[in-house]
Structure 1
């Protein structure tokens, strides 16, 4: 979808201390063969943190950009436990991060699209911002992965989950970047890839480690892995093509790409080689020091580019993501300042 007059007026991210991968291997937390294949350097870890508090902190920092903005919609996303069962984390973030939330009308939403949540929330936020006549839209993404329920180094394969958060503020007045387009597509036929024995009558026992590798093994026992990879990479290509067409630009005009912070062996790298996208045009060097921040990879990556001055005025940035389910997202961002 093409967007006119939708701008990012504030952006921030919150990351933790870095846990060096070689130390995780030495501790016995990370399989050495997995570590060699993933080629990661360190992982962001924030022990004892609550995702919603990280999201509120990121939003507070994003709101510090420029003039005061009245937020009338807040959209939150995350992929793991957010701090309470039978709860509304988006409303909690609004109440704690926005001082006027208790005395004004403010719509709160939560989006659950796993690792695609950040771009799904950005896409939804852009639609709200385009329809708003006054207030701005806040988008937050946050996750914390804690033992024993989630073993960041062993629960899944090909990526290591990291703690952190990111936030953007969207408005119709000019900002630091413009959202030129965004796109979402999905393929529910791949939902069993991470389903395991779902649906279940009760939640998983939090004292038992999530075994996402086992879920994938169940699916791949009856489906060729080449078929799954073809669907995954094909969808990544499709959603980016849609976003590029809507933004009226070509792939070779994109200055930087922000892909998920996965291990080097994940299928997206085949997509990069297919289109001749040099590694230096991606955020691989940064991502391998952070890890996969759940739904926040793309927003945190964009903040990294902007805050480090890596994308001067006029630069075009492509945000690309995918999430189990399966859904994919892409957005084209033009840097304005």
Structure 2
């Protein structure tokens, strides 16, 4: 493990970078699909000693998606990608780029470009295939990069896939951090120049490098990743919560303001807010209470039976909205993601 290195005094965070996608050729979300393994009841996890009962209750969740040992990450992501391509109603040969977003590296093939494997699985002779990480923000980052690429190329479509599998001894999905339960799963969207169910309106991102140490590796007495120990070390040696919380809330608010301005909508007018699938207390603390968002405008009913699938959360929630018939023409969808570092990436869609 790396040794703790004191950080220099914090500097002011920069300004969000926003892109108005309405100023150029229209780009659409042609489809969204998810591959979510069966849910393990948290009551069973408590019974089996996998998580303390108190910690399970704190999450507000009832089940968590857990893939069986014979199911690989590649199985999940290719299934989600294939479903998204099939739903898009366009030939796979139209896909000029595949981008794959992944958070946890230990349960995936080593020295292998998953994006090229996904392209092969769906039959897309792509010119560009790459992977992104950086935490749970990677999927929205990948969507934005795919969109920017399409604006400067002749490619007709792009496939963006996100997925993760969390397994011991590398991570303890139930006890990495109180209030979070990591879930296995994958989700994908197809971005197209042709008509889709929603148009990409805008996107914005902001990074505050002063907060990178929140997730920096520190000595721990446990083998699986210990997020709590990392945060505790940062809060006791670098910045206190009186500094960190305003930066976190200010960064999110600034990014939201930046993405909503090109869309010409206020947060109060957004119909669906897709946030990370975190435990209920964090949901209220991080998003609902400070932003004034009622839980009815989120997909908490979906999150509560899946868990946190990493970067796949937003695409999975989008697929859920569509599958449940909860979107109508004119609806505005806001996808919010946060990632290691600390970074915020958000995107606005408008249902056609």
Fold shared per TM-score above 0.5: yes
Pair 1:276 & 2:298 matched? no
Structure 2 partner of 1:106: 127
Deviation, 1:183, is 1.0
Pair 1:141 & 2:162 matched? yes
Distance in 1 between the 2:275 and 2:286 partners?
13
Structure 2 partner of 1:201: none
Distance in 2 between the 1:174 and 1:86 partners?
37
Residue range with higher mean Cα deviation, 241-250 or 217-226? 217-226
1:24 to 45, 49, 57: 45
Structure 2 partner of 1:302: 318
Structure 2 partner of 1:289: 305
Distance in 1 between the 2:49 and 2:193 partners?
50
Structure 2 partner of 1:57: 79
Query: What is the aligned residue count?
Result: 325
2:141 to 112, 120, 142: 120
Pair 1:323 & 2:339 matched? yes
Structure 2 partner of 1:86: 111
Query: For 1:1-337, what aligned pairs fall within 5 Å after superposition?
Result: 1-4=19-22, 5-48=26-69, 49-65=71-87, 66-69=89-92, 70-81=94-105, 83-95=108-120, 97-101=121-125, 105-197=126-218, 208-222=223-237, 223-266=239-282, 269-336=285-352
TM-score, normalising length from structure 1?
0.91
Cα contact 2:218–2:229 (8 A) shared by 1:
no
Deviation, 1:87, is 2.3
Distance in 2 between the 1:267 and 1:63 partners?
32
Distance in 2 between the 1:154 and 1:273 partners?
25
Superposition RMSD on alpha carbons, in Å?
Answer: 1.9
Cα contact 1:188–1:326 (8 A) shared by 2:
yes
- The gaps in structure 1 that reach 5 residues or longer are 199-203
**Structure 2 residue matching 1:265: 3-state secondary structure:** helix
